[in-house]
A = this chain, B = another copy of it.
Amino acid sequence: MTETASRPTLEAVAARAGVSRATVSRVVNGGEGVRETLVERVRRAVDELGYVPNQAARSLVTRRHDAVAVVIAEPETRVFADPFFALQLRGISKELTAHDSQLVLLLTEGREDYARVGRYLAGGHVDGALVFSLHLDDPLPGLIHGAGVPTVFGGRPGWSDGTRVNGPTVYVDSDNRGGARDAVRHLVGLGRTRIAHITGPLDQTSAVDRLDGFRDVMVDADPRLIAESDFTPAGGERAMRELLDRCPELDAVFAANDLSASGALRVLRERRRVPEDVAVVGFDDMLPVTEQTDPPLTTVRQDIEEMGRLMARILLRGLEQRGRDERGSMGGAPSSVVLPTTLVRRASA
């Protein structure tokens, strides 16, 4: 804890450089249309005084904040057990930094917090928002729409009745369905015929999409070969036991994520040989998990950091646009992006 010195103002710099506030302001903001000698002089004054613009004063007039909120709506502890968000945050952070924007992190603990988030966003503290981890029928998109803040979602928001609440929604997502298809096709290509699926929590579109991808390939899959789970290792164990009970003859498992695959693998190791008897494929390619399972896990890679970066990029581009044409030319409304996935072969399948 140390003392804050009172910081120099534009006025002070102007006085020192012997020019007006307006000129200093121009220099500080790029120096367009100011004689080179003056620019020099002002720059020197800025350095000497250690001047740093007061962001509050600036925002007050520009109505820009150079800040973006990142909303992580995930009450469950699970989130913190996997590096998913950390990676996305990292991608976001990099992109925002490159655009001199700040990252305001809003973590919610259950839906009671939604009101707070809504209030904050409506309060015009940030230029835009990046929102994660929505569940089916989540009220957050509606809330955010109400707040009137430009937003990009991480993962496709979904509603159980298939409608969109309002307006177009921009999101960045992985090609979960396509990736799942690739995974299952790979198993088929290995000659497996009794392929099981351990799902994620089906109130998340990513889990639903992966299940759909599974079904795309296994068109009339025996329902006993599908076990609902929750993306956790423990859940994966449970589901795997269930599957083995119901269908001892299964010869492959596609788990909706690496974590649940690792749980499944633990169970399988006691009763089967992997991949000889049962081949296993995961999803995500979370390195610390996939490389250290026994055997190493074949999985579907998605570039999580890139997703984060892309979300930020799309949002910032939208904000720029919006700033440029004062009265919304419908020109380049940003649209959603679905990133491709790739199958990563390791030993488990």
Contact = CB atoms under 8 A, between A and B. Distances in A.
A122 B6 CA distance: 11
8 contacts: A1-B168, A1-B170, A3-B328, A52-B119, A54-B124, A56-B60, A81-B288, A104-B105
A5 to B, nearest CB: 6
A292 interface: yes
Given A104-B104, A123-B53, A150 B1 contact: yes
A313 interface: no
Contacts of A102: 104, 106, 120, 125
Interface centre among A67, A102, A119, A123 (most CB of B within 10 A): A102
Interface stretch (A84-92, A272-280, A341-349): A84-92
Interface string A117-130: 00110111100000
Interface in A276-293: 287-288, 292
A319 B52 CA distance: 22
Nearest to A97: B116
A119 B52 CA distance: 8
Nearest to A287: B81
A218 interface: no
A312 to B, nearest CB: 12
Given A4-B149, A97-B116, A56 B65 contact: yes
B80 A90 contact: yes
A218 to B, nearest CB: 29
Interface string A1-35: 11111010000000000000000000000000000
Contacts of A334: 1
Interface of A: 1-5, 7, 50, 52-57, 59-60, 65, 67, 70, 79-83, 85-87, 89-90, 93-94, 97, 102-107, 109, 113, 116, 119-120, 122-125, 145, 148-151, 167-168, 170, 233, 262-263, 266, 287-288, 292, 294, 318, 322, 328, 333-334
B52 A60 contact: no
A83 B7 CA distance: 38
A113 B93 CA distance: 12
Contacts of A97: 107, 113, 116
A55 to B, nearest CB: 5
Contact of A107 (B55, B80, B90, B109): B90
Given A1-B334, A94-B107, 12 more contacts: A2-B151, A4-B148, A5-B148, A50-B122, A54-B60, A55-B124, A56-B65, A80-B83, A82-B83, A85-B86, A90-B107, A97-B113
Interface centre among A1, A3, A107 (most CB of B within 10 A): A1
A1 B151 contact: yes
A59 B67 CA distance: 15
Contacts of A59: 56
A54 B52 CA distance: 22
A87 B82 CA distance: 11
